[in-house]
Amino acid sequence: MLRSAKGFNDYKISATDGAVGHVKDLYFDDHDWAVRYFVVDTGTWLSSRKVLISPISVHHPDWAGQMLPVSITKVQVKNSPDFDADKPVSRQNEEHYLGYYGYPYYWAGGGLWGDGLYPSAMVPGYAGFGVDRVEREREMETYLRDERARHRNDDPHLRSCNAVTGYNIHAKDGEIGHVSGFLVDDTTWAIRYLVIDTTNWWGGHKVLIAPLWIKGVHWSDQSVSVDLSRESIKNAPPYDANSDWGRNQEEALYRHHGRSGYWAGSAVHETKV
């Protein structure tokens, strides 16, 4: 199911032994377009210190109660690596964080999360590691050591949802709107769409743009460039947050832009618009 990134603000984070705090932001990477961390305000018990919580640790979300249970303890959160919410999170910071919790590197592999699609597959001891767990863990240690060396100088591509909200949208032939939100897949934590508000440009409505149509996110001028024309965006099916947005609506959107869908078996012919 697709959920608004803004909707996660103030979601409760519950450790195995009690409340941790509330979500205040989401960090995503603009390469694979997935939520990599929740920025959590711990409140009074840690003097409102902000900590990072990975979707890897989230299990069985309580959507009705707006709570994300995590498979870590409050002591682990308390002793977790510090980070500065006002500065970029470096690859070295991420290595330190993931190593602290014993998580594999999500960028080590060809999938959204390592070699897989779901963050749960990266939990230590996951059944997918196979029968010979000791041998598999040995292989994983070697693999991660090689990946650490290979990706040491990578740009982690991490962005704040709060910060990117408001960025101007640059179509191929000019500006057309600004980012007003994000829609997140609540099983893979992939960002499926940016919500674009066009009302300040031509008195229009909100439309959705998929990450596959984005050429870049630019800090320098606070903009997002997309490989679509203004006319194509202007005439796209409108998005209403109060209405259901299901596969039929997604297919209509992709068909409008002449693009192939991200879902399996999509047969929409891809053309440049």
**Each residue's pLDDT tens digit, 18-31:** 999 999 999 999 99
- Separation CA 237–CA 184 (nearest Å): 19
Q: Using the predicted structure, report yes or no on whether residue 170 has a pLDDT greater than 50.
A: yes
Residue pLDDT, tens place only, 70-95: 999 999 999 999 988 878 888 889 99
The residue behind tokens 């099983």 is 187
Per-residue confidence at 254, pLDDT binned at 50, 70, 90?
very high
Q: Which of 2-11, 120-129, 215-224 bottoms out in mean pLDDT, i.e. has the lowest?
A: 120-129
Q: Would you state the structure tokens that stand for residue 174, as one six-digit string?
A: 């000019």
Q: CB neighbours of 220 closer than 8 A, spacing ≥ 6?
A: none
User: Hey, how many other C-beta atoms are within 10 angstroms of the C-beta on 170?
Assistant: 19
Q: Band the pLDDT of 34: cuts 50, 70, 90.
A: very high
Average pLDDT estimate for 40-46: 95
Measured in residues, the chain has a length of 273
Cα separation, 178 vs 201, whole angstroms = 9
* pLDDT digit string, tens, across residues 188-212: 999 999 999 998 877 778 999 999 9
Comma-separated ranges of CATH 3.90.50.10 domains in the chain: 2-158, 165-257
Residue 252 clears pLDDT 90, i.e. is over it: yes
Residue range 116-129, pLDDT digits in tens:
899 988 887 654 44
Sign of the C-alpha dihedral, residues 33, 67, 165, 162?
A: negative
Structure tokens at 19: 């409340």
Q: In the CATH hierarchy, which top-level class contains the domain 2-158?
A: alpha beta
Cβ contacts of 265 within 8 Å, gap of 6 or more: none
- The Cα–Cα gap between 86 and 14 comes to 25
Q: CATH fold of 165-257, please? A: Photosynthetic Reaction Center; Chain H, domain 2 (3.90.50)
Question: Is the C-alpha dihedral spanning 185, 189, 193, 197 positive or negative?
Answer: positive
Residues 6+ apart with CB under 8 A from 149: none
d(CA 192, CA 28) in angstroms, rounded, equals 12
- Mean pLDDT over each residue of the chain, to the nearest integer: 86
pTM of the model: 0.86
Phi and psi at residue 189, in whole multiples of 5°? 65, 20
Q: What is the pLDDT of residue 128?
A: 45
